Structure 1
Amino acid sequence: MRFRTLKELADICTAENKSISEFMLEEQAKESGRSTEQEFGKMAAYYKIMKEAVQKGLTEDTTSRSGLTGMDAQRVMSYMSGSVPSVGEEACRAMAYALAVSEVNASMGRVIATPTAGSCGIIPGVFVSAQQRFGWDDEHLVMGLFSAGAIGYIIANNSFVSGAEGGCQAEVGSAIGMAAGAMVELRGGTPAQAVHAVGLALKNTLGLICDPVGGLVEIPCIVRNGFGAVNALAAADMALAGVRSAIPSDEVIQVMYEAGSAMPEKYRETAKGGLAQTPTGKKMMQELKLSRKRT
C-alpha cells in the first residue's frame, strides 16, 4: 500500500482527486493481483452477509448458547414502534441494527468481522440504516466498505484492533472510527473530513477496557456495539459540520497504542477484571461453569 497514515491517505486522495474508497479499491487490486471488478465483487458479497445478519437479528431467535444475551435488538425495534426515541429514530435504528448483528454473532450466526467479531455490529448498523434512510444502492455502500477498510488498515498497522492486545478501544473504538470516516465519505464529505471523523471517534473511546463476562463476546460487547453505532453517526456529523480533531487523528491512533500497551492484562479480554469480576459477573461465570459440567 502507498500509505501508512491517515494524513498520507488524505493527501494522496486530494492530490489525485479520488475518494478514499476509489483509491483503496485500486490499491487493494494491486496488492492482491486481482482486478478491481473482482475486488468489488468480493466486498459486495461481504455487504450482503452484513445485511443478512441485520435481518436475522431482527426476525429470528438470537438467544445465545449461554443464555446470557439475545433479542435486545428486537426489543429496541419494538420500543421504536410505540415511542419517540430520545436519540431520534435514525440513531435508534442504527443502534438496533448494530445490536442485531452482534447478537447474531453471539448466537453462532454468520457475520463479517469489522474489524473483529466483537465489533461486528457497528459498521452494518450504521451502513444498513443509512442505506434505508437515504435510498442508496448497494454499490454505494460497498464502496463505503473500501473506505472503512482503508481506515482499519491504518489503525491495524499503527495500533491494535484486537481486544486481547489493546482492550475494547481497539475493537469497538476502531470500528467506530472506521464507520465514522466511511459515513463522511458516503455523505459526500472530503477525505480530510473523513480523517477528522476518525480522530473525533477514537479519542472518545481511548482507554476502553475489554472485560467480557465469562470470557464470552456477549456482556458488555453487544451493547457497546449499539452505543458504538450512535457514536459513529455523531462523529460523522461533527466532521461534516466542520468540527476538526484538534489532535491530529494519527496522533490519536498513537495514543490508543500507548494506552493499550500500558493496559493491565486483566483488562485485555482475560475476564480477570472489570465487569467480569463484579459480584454479578462472577455469579454468571460460576453458573456457566456449572451448566457446562451438566452438559
Structure 2
Amino acid sequence: MKIARSGDELIKICFEENISLSEYAIRYEIENREITREELYIKMKKNLNVMIESANSGMNKEIYSVSGLIGGDAYKIKKYLDKGNTLIGETMVLAMAMALSSSEVNAAMGKIVACPTAGSCGILPAVILTAGKKLNKSEDELITALFAASSVGMIIGMNATLSGAEGGCQAECGSASAMGAAAVVEMMGGTPKMSLDAAAIILKNVLGLVCDPVAGLVEIPCAKRNISGAISALSIADLVMAGVDSKIPFDDAVSAMYKVGKCLPTSLRETAEGGVAITKAGLELRKKVYGEEE
C-alpha cells in the first residue's frame, strides 16, 4: 500500500482505492505491524475501553488531582446536564463533561489514553463518544472512528509536531481537536477531503495557542482547553457537513501550525514561564503547590 506523507497524498490514495480515512489507517497498521484486522480491532478496542472509563469516571464521582489544583468539575457539569436546562444542548454539554473527566483522571494519576498527548487526552474520547451516542453508533463504529482520527494524527506528526514543548498547545489540543473533527465528519458520512477540511479549520482557529501550565502541571489551563477543543471539533464537523470547506488546505494549515510553534518563545512552550502561569493568580497557585520556596 502507498504511504501518505501529506494530506493531499492521503486524499489521493483514499480516492484511488475508494476507501475511507479509517480504512487507510487500518491497512497501514496491518501492513506495517504484520497484524490481522481482527487483532488490530482488539487492540484498538482496549484503547476505546480506557477512553470510556476515563471519560465517565469524573462524571460519576468527584476526582481531584494530586496537586489539588483541579477536580470535581466534571461531576458538576454532569449534575447540571441532568437538570435538562442547558443552553447549548445535551451533546455539547456531555462532551464538556467527558473532556474534563479524562483531564481530571489524568491529573489524578489515573489511566488515560494519551491521544495524541496526555495533556490533550480528554478531547478525542469526548468527541467520539458523544458523537457516537448522538449518531447511534456501535462499538465497532466507534473503534473505526478512532482509526479515522489516527490517520490525521499521523500526517500531523510527520509534518509538524504533537508536542506542547515544541509547538505550544496548538500542537496538543489543536491536533487532538483536528483528529476528532475529522473522525466525526467520517462518522457522519463525509468524504476524506471533508474530514481534512474540518481538521484544517480547527488548526487555523487555534494558531498561536500557547502552552502555559500553571506550576508546570498539566492541569490549569489544560483541562478547560480540552473542553474547548472538544466543543470546537463537534461544531466544526457540523460546519463542514453543511457544505462549508476550508480555503486553506489541510497541508498548509499543518505547515502554518508548525512554523508558528517554532516562533513561540520557550516561555510559552510548556516551561511555565509565561502566559497564565506567571500571572498573579498563577504564581499564587504555584506557591500553593510547592510552598514559598520550591
Task: Specify the code of the residue in structure 1 equivalent to 2:224.
Answer: V
1:206-228: CA deviations, max 9, x gaps?
10000000000000000000111
Indicate the larger mover: 154-163 or 83-92: 83-92
Q: Residues 252-291 of structure 1 correspond to what in structure 2 (within 5 A)?
A: 252-290=253-291
TM-score normalised according to structure 1 size: 0.96
User: 1:87: which partner in 2?
Assistant: 88
Deviations 1:4-23 (A, max 9, x none): 11111111111111111012
* Displacement after TM superposition at 1:52 (Å): 1.0
Q: Which residue of 2 aligns with 1:243?
A: 244
Kindly report which structure 2 residues correspond to 1:1-295, keeping only aligned pairs within 5 A, or say none.
2-82=3-83, 84-290=85-291
Q: Residues of 1 paired with 2:138 and 2:82: CA distance?
A: 25
Aligned amino acid, residue 190 of structure 1: T
**Alpha-carbon contact 2:128-2:183 (below 8 Å) kept:** no
Q: Deviations over 1:31-73 (max 9, x none)?
A: 1111122111111110011001112121133111111101111
C-alpha deviation, 1:291, in angstroms: 8.8
Task: Give the deviation of 1:247 after TM superposition.
Answer: 0.7
Q: How far apart are residue 131 of structure 1 and its match? A: 2.0
In structure 1, how many angstroms separate the alpha carbons of the residues matched to 2:253 and 2:133? 32
The range that moved more, 169-178 or 14-23, is 14-23
Q: Provide, for residues 118-164 of structure 1, a one-character-per-residue CA deviation record: whole Å limited to 9, x for no partner.
A: 00000100111122222211100101111111100100111110100
In structure 2, what is the Cα distance between the partners aligned to 1:162 and 1:85?
34
State the distance in 2 between where 1:246 and 1:19 align.
22
Q: CA deviation at 1:81?
A: 2.1
User: Cα deviation per residue 1:146-195 (whole Å; 9 max; x = unaligned)?
Assistant: 11111001001111101000000000000000000010001111111101
Counterpart CA distance in 2 for 1:241 and 1:9 is 23
Deviations 1:61-119 (A, max 9, x none): 31111111011111111112225222222111111111111111111110001100000
- TM value normalised by structure 2: 0.97
What runs of 5+ residues in structure 2 fail to find an aligned partner? none
Cα distance between partner residues in 2 of 1:151 and 1:181: 7
Provide the rounded CA distance (Å) in 2 between the counterparts of 1:54 and 1:153.
24
CA distance in 2, matches of 1:66, 1:240: 41
Change beyond 3 A, Cα 1:243–1:280: same
**Matched residue type, 2:270:** E
Distance 1:58 1:83 in 2: 16
Q: Percent identity?
A: 43
Rounded to whole Å, the distance in 1 between the matches of 2:22 and 2:15 is 12
Q: Is the 8 A contact 2:62 2:73 kept in 1?
A: no
Contact 2:104-2:223 within 8 A present in 1 as well: yes
Q: Distance in 1 between matches of 2:40 and 2:190?
A: 24
